[in-house]
Structure 1
């Protein structure tokens, strides 16, 4: 997969990478755990999910997970997913 990077010069979106795992785990808070994760993340679980996200990019699957990066160092500040298919969604026309 070639690296994709979308930026306005302040915020950058790019695919999640395994080197984002530590920042993701560090950034978990009670609301993220409660509403999105269903429990505190583990290194193994986050690594597996990030690998799955990368596989989806490589296979042109229905999921595109982006890391939201900030600053000159492009540190991970959050994530956002784009899903082309899903339960309850009508097929594209």
Structure 2
């Protein structure tokens, strides 16, 4: 009788410990999965941040080129205006001589 009680007791204890271990393993697996997902998310954020930095640098370079092109256009328009004025003055002088 005592042997049966002890057998039942130890069986219950064994099953309880096995259940605790299985739960712990399940929690560990869940934690591992969560950590893997967190690592993957951090890597994706790092990649996106690097791409954003490259695009921002490209944008700054493009803006500098655009400003330089606008400055070149302004200078070319000023030069054209000056050349047109000189041409008109010379044309007037030629007309006066004729």
The TM-score by the shorter chain falls in which range? under 0.3
TM-score with structure 1 setting the length:
0.21
Say which structure is richer in strand: 1
Whichever structure has more helix as a proportion of its residues is 2
